[in-house]
């Protein structure tokens, strides 16, 4: 079926489930888990067999030799190789529709629980993993754990999982979702056509709560009005600096989630202690886990603690997302919707440093860790994604500058040149004025002439306004008395001044 190109959005409604409903839904998630992993086992075998095929290996070797060549002969040969590879994949049953046929045999065994369209969506998910191994950098397909299977969805709102007459209908199961009387957003959203439905389960305490996600056609009802105007945003690994003619923002992303993360760390350590106590034979004398296949004993307390940890991770993810949605709304409502920012390679920042350095003081190897933990806690890439999504509803997009050419962190508009500043220096002097480094970078992005250079005349004209907004922003941060902000933002330099 051809994928629809119409815009869509999701409305999430909590299901009013009874214990009987929850039991049926849990059975259906378990059935889907069995079906999906059986298909994964089949796909792994077929993929392994195909990779051992001599013709396939020779074609792939030839493809690697000519894949970067663009002459007419190479293009013709690449087309021929592509057809031969497609023929081999079909012979081994590695295509999306062959997966649909295979899983339909499983679906007939469990047709009381899983309908044909839901089974096809499970097969499509497995095919996406196979695609990553065939056409991208994927190496192998992994089996899915039961606790990581959180959603089941259909393909339309006609059969299978469907929303009809204000209720969820699925193979004899009829459940009423919660809809508050004063929820005007949900009522307006429900006037849109339902494309398909998704059932989602979320860990709450030691059990699951079930939700209905309606994928609706069109754009979501507007909650906030956007302001016109330029905004410069300097993205970091854990913070965002914003400047516009209306003010400055310097904030840590999801700053209030530390308590949740600390609780999750304590529960993780509790699980490790319990696992070691219940499975002493699975560990070596030095405390490392033995190699090979092992049987793990899980106590009832361990299972409950595992669910509590899962619920904490869900709460943390929801808190981070909500705080970033609120920050995006604040920027678009009170500062402007013409966003200018740098493109950050967050994937590269996750990787460990290549150089293995030795400390001169201790003689020990220095840690090669970089920003992986910070990126995991604060999700800065998702914040930019949220901004991009909200702007798309208005037909706008984020304007990115060339990071390597623009050099916002190095430029001095008074001197008119670039000067490298150490990462630990959070403030610097521009002429005779001290500026916070991240806020000044956001100011330079606001004054961008194009994607590679700064409009120096605009900088000179707007700099007094920047200093005024920076003073207000710094005073607000200092009044919070947050020691972490004082150190990470370099605010002590402004106290000294």
Dump pLDDT digits (tens) for 13-49: 999 999 999 999 999 999 999 999 999 999 999 999 9
Spatial separation of the C-alpha atoms in residues 246 and 244, rounded to whole Å: 5
Percent of the chain's residues with pLDDT above 70: 96
Q: Provide mean pLDDT across the span 393-421.
A: 86
SS3 87: helix
Residue 497, pLDDT > 70, answer: no
pLDDT band at 4 (very low <50, low <70, confident <90, very high): low
Query: What are the domain boundaries of the chain?
Result: 8-53+92-217, 230-496
SS3 363: coil
DSSP 228: P
- Those residues with Cβ within 8 angstroms of residue 327's Cβ, 6 or more apart along the chain or in another chain: 240, 249, 251, 253, 383
Prediction pTM value: 0.82
Tokens of 262: 């600390």
Nearest to 438 by CA among 475, 483, 397, 491: 491
Spatial separation of the C-alpha atoms in residues 89 and 356, rounded to whole Å: 43
Residue 216, pLDDT > 90, answer: yes
Does 252 or 67 have the greater pLDDT score? Answer: 252
Tokens of 394: 């208005």
Spatial separation of the C-alpha atoms in residues 491 and 22, rounded to whole Å: 52
Spatial separation of the C-alpha atoms in residues 63 and 300, rounded to whole Å: 53
> Rounded to 5 degrees, what are φ and ψ at 106?
-70, -40
∠ CA 396-407-384, rounded to 5°: 35
Spatial separation of the C-alpha atoms in residues 146 and 143, rounded to whole Å: 10
Residues in a beta bridge with 430? 433
Question: Looking at residue 2, what is its pLDDT?
Answer: 55
DSSP 148: G
Spatial separation of the C-alpha atoms in residues 232 and 340, rounded to whole Å: 5
SS3 162: strand
β-pairing verdict for 230-235 and 338-342: parallel
Spatial separation of the C-alpha atoms in residues 367 and 229, rounded to whole Å: 44
Tell me the pLDDT of the chain averaged across its residues.
88
Question: Looking at residue 425, what is its pLDDT?
Answer: 79
Question: Looking at residue 324, what is its pLDDT?
Answer: 93
Q: Provide mean pLDDT across the span 310-318.
A: 91
pLDDT band at 118 (very low <50, low <70, confident <90, very high): very high
Spatial separation of the C-alpha atoms in residues 460 and 462, rounded to whole Å: 6
- Minimum mean pLDDT range among 124-128, 154-158, 434-438, 490-494: 490-494
Question: Looking at residue 77, what is its pLDDT?
Answer: 84
Question: Looking at residue 123, what is its pLDDT?
Answer: 96
Residue 412, pLDDT > 90, answer: no
Nearest to 227 by CA among 217, 242, 238: 242
Tokens of 451: 């994607």
Spatial separation of the C-alpha atoms in residues 84 and 29, rounded to whole Å: 39
- Minimum mean pLDDT range among 260-269, 354-363, 426-435: 354-363
Q: Provide mean pLDDT across the span 430-453.
A: 88
pLDDT tens, 65-96?
887 777 777 788 888 888 999 999 999 999 99
Question: Looking at residue 89, what is its pLDDT?
Answer: 92
């Amino acid at each position: 079926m051809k994928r629809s190109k119409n815009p869509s959005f999701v409305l999430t409604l909590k299901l009013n489930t009874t214990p009987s409903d929850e039991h049926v839904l849990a059975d259906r998630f378990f059935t889907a888990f069995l079906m999906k992993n059986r298909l994964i086992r089949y796909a792994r075998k077929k993929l392994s067999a195909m990779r051992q095929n001599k013709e396939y290996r020779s074609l792939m070797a030839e493809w690697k030799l000519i894949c970067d060549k663009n002459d007419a002969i190479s293009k013709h040969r690449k087309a021929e190789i592509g057809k031969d590879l497609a023929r081999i994949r079909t012979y081994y049953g590695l295509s999306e529709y062959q997966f649909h046929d295979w899983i339909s045999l499983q679906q007939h065994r469990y047709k009381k629980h899983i309908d044909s369209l839901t089974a096809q969506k499970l097969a499509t998910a497995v095919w996406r993993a196979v695609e990553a191994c065939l056409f991208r950098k994927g190496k192998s397909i992994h089996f899915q754990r039961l606790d990581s299977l959180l959603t089941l969805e259909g393909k339309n709102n006609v059969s299978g999982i469907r929303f009809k007459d204000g209720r969820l209908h699925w193979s004899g199961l009829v459940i009423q979702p919660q809809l508050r009387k004063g929820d005007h957003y949900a009522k307006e959203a429900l006037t849109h056509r339902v494309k398909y439905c998704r059932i989602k389960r979320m860990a709450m305490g030691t059990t699951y709560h079930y939700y209905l996600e309606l994928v609706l056609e069109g754009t979501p009802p507007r909650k906030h009005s956007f302001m016109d105007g330029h905004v410069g945003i300097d993205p970091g690994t854990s913070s965002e600096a914003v400047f516009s003619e209306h003010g400055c923002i310097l904030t840590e992303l999801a700053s209030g989630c530390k308590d949740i993360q600390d609780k999750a760390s304590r529960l993780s350590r509790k699980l490790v202690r319990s696992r070691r106590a219940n499975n002493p034979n699975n560990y070596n004398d030095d405390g490392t886990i033995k190699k090979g296949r092992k049987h793990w004993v899980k106590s009832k307390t361990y299972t409950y603690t595992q669910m509590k940890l899962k619920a904490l991770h869900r709460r943390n993810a929801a808190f981070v997302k909500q705080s970033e949605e609120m920050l995006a709304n604040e920027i678009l409502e009170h500062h402007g919707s013409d966003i200018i920012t740098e493109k950050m390679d967050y994937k590269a920042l996750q990787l460990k440093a290549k150089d293995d350095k030795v400390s001169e003081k201790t003689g020990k190897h220095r840690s090669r860790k970089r920003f992986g933990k910070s990126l995991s806690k604060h999700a800065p890439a998702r914040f930019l994604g949220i901004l991009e999504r909200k702007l798309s509803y208005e037909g706008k997009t984020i304007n990115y500058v060339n990071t390597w050419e623009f050099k916002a962190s190095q430029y001095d508009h008074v001197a008119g040149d670039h000067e490298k500043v150490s990462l630990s220096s959070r403030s610097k002097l521009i002429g005779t004025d001290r500026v916070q480094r991240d806020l000044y970078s956001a100011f330079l992005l606001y004054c961008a002439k194009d994607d590679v250079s700064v409009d120096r005349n605009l900088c000179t004209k707007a700099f007094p306004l920047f200093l005024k907004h920076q003073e207000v922003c710094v005073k607000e941060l200092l009044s919070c008395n947050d020691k972490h902000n004082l150190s990470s933002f370099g605010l002590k330099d402004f106290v000294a001044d």
